[in-house]
């Protein structure tokens, strides 16, 4: 195959999705793919890992060159991980050296000199280590991170692609459910609790605060992991809201914990077999309210619906997700290694942003929590400063096209690249 050989005289690139997926991570993939296609003079093939880094370890690579331009374009409005993602953390170099070496071996076999890793804190740590071990093994790989996490907990970057759309979903859902409860409260449900994601940081719960602007508008209470849960204060506030407004809407982070750091979710419900049931903050709070006040309650657990809800994505978020993918390729081609494009806020009102960059080392394994001054003094709401930060991130709608009443999400061909190594690798 002389043609193929010639093609591979230019170094190839590798892209992988990592960790929990979002409704816009594929927009980042589109940014990476389209930027690589525009740089054909300098990048040969762009391969993607089937199921993330697992695809690299098992030499299960997808040839993105086989995807049509229309399908790549459709990634901008298709949620989830189109190439498959993985929860698969590589540990320290000394503990997982064989895996890192295997990665380099696969990269070498396929002449991969660029590694774009689309993930959160853990993934940035991995990308950093791959860049180190490549050099140790005499095979230089340019490693560039592509930020992604609904949790919005990466440092340095002003916000994280994936968060804005979850924030919009939670704000819209809170407004809608709030209207529902308000209209029924006189004779029916008085307390409604929406449990949202965010095990360690309350960014998603905070976004629920955008649903209302005036006093008495839902949500009446937000519960953050950053604020130790105070049962008495919570119950008193529920009673006050029902007394004043006739009802009470609560947005609770799954990571709510008491002053001793015990997760409410772990104290709460038990399943039919007596196991502690995770995702149990909402029913635990509901039971508490029922016990103390006797109010009729309802609760919802959005779970994956919130992070998959591309139908109500934030336009700003989609644009930023695409931009960081594109910027990652540009940084790599500019010779930058072990860096990650970040979103830099130039102003909040009007909202203006640009793309900068940061060393992945500064991002790896760090967590950015909701700062105290974004949370009201009583711990149950967001301040004007918090609102100023959050508001621009949910701006704009970016509807997918529909057919027969359903979004037209794309399924890629995912053509397998012929293996070149004799050895298998069992993950």
CB 115 → its own copies: shortest distance, Å? Answer: 19
Tokens of 406: 């359903």
Q: What is the largest CA-CA distance in the chain?
A: 79
Nearer to its own copies, 51 or 67 (CB): 51
Nearer to its own copies, 226 or 319 (CB): 319
Rounded CA separation 193/249 (Å) = 6
312 binds its own copies (CB under 8 A): yes
Q: Which stretch binds its own copies (CB under 8 A): 3-11, 37-45, 137-145, 310-318?
A: 310-318
CB 403 → its own copies: shortest distance, Å? Answer: 10
Rounded CA separation 141/50 (Å) = 20
Nearer to its own copies, 10 or 298 (CB): 298
Pick one of 10, 293, 298, 388: the residue that binds its own copies (CB under 8 A): 298
Interface map 387-406 toward its own copies (x if CB under 8 A): ----x--xxxx-x--x-xxx
Rounded CA separation 248/193 (Å) = 8
Using CB under 8 A, count the residues that bind its own copies: 84
CB 185 → its own copies: shortest distance, Å? Answer: 8
Nearer to its own copies, 54 or 364 (CB): 54
286 binds its own copies (CB under 8 A): yes
287 binds its own copies (CB under 8 A): yes
Q: Which of 375, 35, 5, 30 is nearest to 208 (CA)?
A: 375
235 binds its own copies (CB under 8 A): no
Pick one of 76, 99, 110, 311: the residue that binds its own copies (CB under 8 A): 311
C-alpha distances out from residue 73 to 140, 163, 332, Å:
31, 21, 22
295 binds its own copies (CB under 8 A): no
Window 360 to 379, contacts with its own copies (CB under 8 A): none
131 binds its own copies (CB under 8 A): no
Which residues are CB-contacts of 191 (< 8 A; sequence separation ≥ 6)? 238, 242, 247, 248, 249, 250, 286, 289, 295, 296, 297, 298
119 binds its own copies (CB under 8 A): no
CB 312 → its own copies: shortest distance, Å? Answer: 6
Window 4 to 43, contacts with its own copies (CB under 8 A): 17, 20-21, 23
Q: Which of 216, 133, 150, 172 is nearest to 311 (CA)?
A: 172
* Contact in structure between 388 and 162 (CB atoms under 8 Å): no
Nearer to its own copies, 50 or 113 (CB): 50
Window 165 to 224, contacts with its own copies (CB under 8 A): 168, 171-173, 175-177, 179-184, 186-189, 192, 194, 210-211
CB 358 → its own copies: shortest distance, Å? Answer: 27
* Contact in structure between 14 and 47 (CB atoms under 8 Å): yes
Rounded CA separation 340/131 (Å) = 13
Nearer to its own copies, 19 or 225 (CB): 19
Nearer to its own copies, 259 or 272 (CB): 272
Count Cβ atoms below 10 Å from residue 89 Cβ, excluding itself.
13
Q: Which stretch binds its own copies (CB under 8 A): 64-72, 225-233, 301-309, 374-382?
A: 301-309
* Contact in structure between 48 and 83 (CB atoms under 8 Å): yes
CB 308 → its own copies: shortest distance, Å? Answer: 4
Give the 3-state secondary structure of residue 159.
coil
| Rounded to 5°, angle at Cα 305 from 303 and 311 | 155
Kindly list the catalytic residues: 151
CA 131, distance to chain mean position in Å, is: 24
Nearer to its own copies, 221 or 327 (CB): 221
Tokens of 53: 């880094």
Beta strands in 257-386 (DSSP E): 297-301, 339-348, 351-359
CB 213 → its own copies: shortest distance, Å? Answer: 9
Q: Which of 53, 39, 35, 49 is nearest to 11 (CA)?
A: 39
Window 66 to 95, contacts with its own copies (CB under 8 A): 78-88
Window 257 to 276, contacts with its own copies (CB under 8 A): 267-273, 275
């Amino acid at each position: 195959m002389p043609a193929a050989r010639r093609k591979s005289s230019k170094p190839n690139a590798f892209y992988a999705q990592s960790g929990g997926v979002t409704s816009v991570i594929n927009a980042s993939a589109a940014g990476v793919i389209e930027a690589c296609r525009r740089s054909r003079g300098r990048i040969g093939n762009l391969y993607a890992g089937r199921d993330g880094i697992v695809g690299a370890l098992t030499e299960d690579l997808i040839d993105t060159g086989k995807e049509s331009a229309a399908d790549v374009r459709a990634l901008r409005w298709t949620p989830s991980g189109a190439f498959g993602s993985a929860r698969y953390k590589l540990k320290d170099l000394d503990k997982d050296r064989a895996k890192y070496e295997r990665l380099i071996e696969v990269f070498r076999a396929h002449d991969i000199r660029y590694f774009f890793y689309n993930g959160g804190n853990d993934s940035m740590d991995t990308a950093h280590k791959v860049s180190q071990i490549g050099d140790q093994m005499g095979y230089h790989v340019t490693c560039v991170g592509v930020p992604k996490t609904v949790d919005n907990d990466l440092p340095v970057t002003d916000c994280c692609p994936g968060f804005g759309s979850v924030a919009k979903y939670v704000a819209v859902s809170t407004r809608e459910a709030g209207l529902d409860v308000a209209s029924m409260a006189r004779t029916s449900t008085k307390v409604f609790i929406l449990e949202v994601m965010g095990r360690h940081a309350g960014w998603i719960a905070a976004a629920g605060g955008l649903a209302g602007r005036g006093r008495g508008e839902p949500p009446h209470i937000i519960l953050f992991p950053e604020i130790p849960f105070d049962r008495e204060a919570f119950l008193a506030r529920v009673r006050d809201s029902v007394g004043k407004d006739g009802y009470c809407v609560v947005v609770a982070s799954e990571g709510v914990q008491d002053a001793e750091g015990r997760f409410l979710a772990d104290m709460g419900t038990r399943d039919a077999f007596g196991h502690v049931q995770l995702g149990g903050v909402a029913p635990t709070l509901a039971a508490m309210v029922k016990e103390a006040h006797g109010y009729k309650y309802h609760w919802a657990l959005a779970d994956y619906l919130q992070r998959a809800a591309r139908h109500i994505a934030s336009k700003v978020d989609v644009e930023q997700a695409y931009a960081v993918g594109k910027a990652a390729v540009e940084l790599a081609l500019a010779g930058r290694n072990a860096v990650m494009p970040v979103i830099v806020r130039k102003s909040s009102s009007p909202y203006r942003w640009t793309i900068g960059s940061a060393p992945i080392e500064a991002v790896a394994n760090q967590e950015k929590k909701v700062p105290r001054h974004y949370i009201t003094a009583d711990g149950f709401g967001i301040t004007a400063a918090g609102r100023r930060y959050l508001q621009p991130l949910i701006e704009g709608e970016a509807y997918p096209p529909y057919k027969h009443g359903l979004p037209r999400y794309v399924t890629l061909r995912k053509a397998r690249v012929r293996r070149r190594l004799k050895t298998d690798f069992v993950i």
